[in-house]
Amino acid sequence: RIDMTASPAPAVWFALGCLCLAAEGYRHGDHVTLLKRSQYQGMRTGFTEMEGKYAPHFRIESSVQLNPIFEAQKNTASQYQTHDAFKISFSFVNDRFLTPWLTVTDGRGHYLHNIYFTFIYSGHHIKRFEVDTDYHLEHSLKEPPEHINLIYHWEVESESDLESGFSTMMILTCVGGWVAIGLVLRDSFMKTVEENKSPRRDRRSRRRDATKASPYRPRRNNY
C-alpha cells in the first residue's frame, strides 16, 4: 500500500512525466512499438515485442516480410501441418491499438498474402488505424508461402474531419444552450404565474373568513 500523503513528490513527478511523454508524441521516423501473438493447435501465445525491423516508423511508408509459420514452429516446438488453422494478432503503441485475429491459413488451402495497416495521424500523434488483408488465389499454392507482407501506410487526418467534428460540437453546444435557456424561462414563467395566483387566493380566503365571522346576515325582502 502506497502512502500518497506521506510523500507526494514522487507521484507528482511521475504524473508530470507521463503528461510530458503524452504531449511529446512521435517525431518523423520514430519507432512505433509492435507486439504479436499467435493461435495454433488450440494454443495461444502471449504478446511478445517484435524486432525493430518489423515495426512501423512514424510517417514512413514501408513494407516488410514476416514468416509467421516459422514463429509458430519456434513457439510450439512442433512442425506446422497444412491442415491446421493458424492465426495472428498485432498490438501497436503498448496495446492502444489492437487488431482482431487474422487468419494466416484456414487449413483448407487459403493462405494470407498481405496485411495492410493504415495509420491516421494528426501532428505528432496516432489517432486511429485500419487493417485489411488479401489472400493468395484459392489452391494456387501447393505449399505454404514462405512469408507474408506487412504493409504500412500513413494518412494525415483530414481537415474536413476536424471541421465536421468541431461543427458538430458547436451545434450540440448551441442546442444544449437553447434548451437550458428554454427550461430557465419556463421555470421563471411558472413561478410568476404561481405568484400572481397567490394574492387572489389570499383575498378570496379573507373575504370568506370575514363573511363567516360577521354576526349579521343581509335580509332578503320578499314582495
**Distance separating alpha carbons of residues 3 and 6, to the nearest angstrom:** 6
**Dihedral of the alpha carbons of 155, 156, 160, 166, in degrees to the nearest 10:** 130
Query: Is residue 121 over pLDDT 70?
Result: yes
Residue 18 has pLDDT above 70, yes or no: no
Helix/strand number for the chain, H first, E second: 3, 10
Verdict on whether the full-model pTM lies above 0.85: no
Angle at 61 between CA 32 and CA 117, to 5 degrees: 65
Give the integer Cα–Cα distance in Å for 181 and 174.
10
Sequence-distant contacts of 19-24: CB under 8 A, at least 24 apart: 24/124
Mean pLDDT of 124-130: 95
Q: Is pLDDT at 98 greater than 70 in this prediction?
A: yes
Tell me the three state secondary structure of residue 207. helix
Q: How confident is the model at residue 208 (pLDDT cuts 50, 70, 90)?
A: low
